[in-house]
Homo-oligomer: A and B are copies of this chain.
């Protein structure tokens, strides 16, 4: 009650000087008391703390930054507009940074180099302590700039410069997980349907699938079918596949969208899943995978983990312990019913 009238007029943020005045000490003493530095009588500390509490004081991050040269802030540049992939990555980054009491500036470059330079400039003007670049495709991208005053970590889309610090998913390992699952559930005639050959992820997963099959003494049933990352392509490809390789009993798909199309395509051609054909997707896009018929078994690439690792590596680099090079995060299989 007593302060409801007072707080209604809350105009100015309390500064350290206000606390000093209220506690009857000097600003320097307040600083020491609140930061646990110097040597002060416990009674003084308590008095200062009380005064600070009463005024709702907390120190200005801006002033601190000016003094320390650090802002406890990092920039996240996403190349796409926070899509399917950058979002979990960002959540992971935030997770990691939150622990270090850092905040993140969000910048969306929309795949436009001009915009990217603009954001980079703004971030440097703001003296961010570091930068994370989150891509939406696994294809390597050219580095931000070769001479930056702060550390940079590339997440999901690696930098073309192997010296840069990048965190990527284990594409071939993901394919291996899928193939292993199919083989272990008794499939022998396994086909691969995926996205555009121009995408590194499509090429890598196809190569990984072939490798893994070879280790089981098997080979892919027919050539990998490259197309688009769409359900329409998946349905179309499923029909085509049944024409060219009618005796398949397993399909590994380059992503869940395609897998879902394939599931519908196969089912509507009269095949029972998973009895007659086993199906594994990639991405673990939950809404999609759960609604598929049957619910889709798929490889989770560990995007959040990529984000967390990227955040951790950035924090380490900021603290003077850079870990250059490419760091690989392994995914895991999410078994549903397909």
Contact = CB atoms under 8 A, between A and B. Distances in A.
The interface centre, meaning the residue of A61, A124, A147 with most chain B CB atoms within 10 A of its CB, is: A61
B108 A230 contact: no
Contacts of A82: 82, 87, 90-91
A103 B87 contact: no
A91 B104 CA distance: 16
Contact of A105 (B63, B103, B149, B257): B103
Contacts of A106: 76, 90, 94, 103-106
A94 B108 contact: yes
A292 B11 CA distance: 55
Contacts of A114: none
B62 A66 contact: yes
Interface string A10-21: 110100000000
Nearest to A95: B108
Contact of A147 (B10, B76, B101, B261): B10
A287 interface: yes
Given A10-B147, A108-B91, A147-B7, A59 B291 contact: no
A127 B14 CA distance: 12
A236 B62 CA distance: 56
A59 B122 CA distance: 10
Interface in A79-110: 81-82, 87, 90-91, 94, 101, 103-108
Chain A, interface size category, equals 35 or more
Nearest to A84: B287
Contact of A104 (B58, B61, B87, B105): B105
A87 B107 CA distance: 13
Contacts of A13: 124, 127, 149
Contact of A127 (B62, B147, B290): B62
Nearest to A72: B126
A257 B122 CA distance: 39
A58 B117 CA distance: 14
A97 to B, nearest CB: 10
Contacts of A58: 121, 124-125
A65 interface: yes
A61 B121 contact: no
A8 interface: yes
A170 to B, nearest CB: 24
Given A82-B82, A87-B82, A87-B87, A257 B287 contact: yes
Q: Which 5 A-B pairs have the closest CB atoms?
A: A231-B291, A106-B106, A61-B126, A62-B65, A61-B125
22 contacts: A13-B124, A13-B127, A13-B149, A58-B121, A59-B125, A60-B66, A60-B125, A61-B126, A61-B127, A62-B126, A62-B127, A63-B66, A82-B87, A87-B87, A91-B108, A94-B108, A101-B122, A103-B107, A103-B122, A104-B106, A105-B105, A261-B291
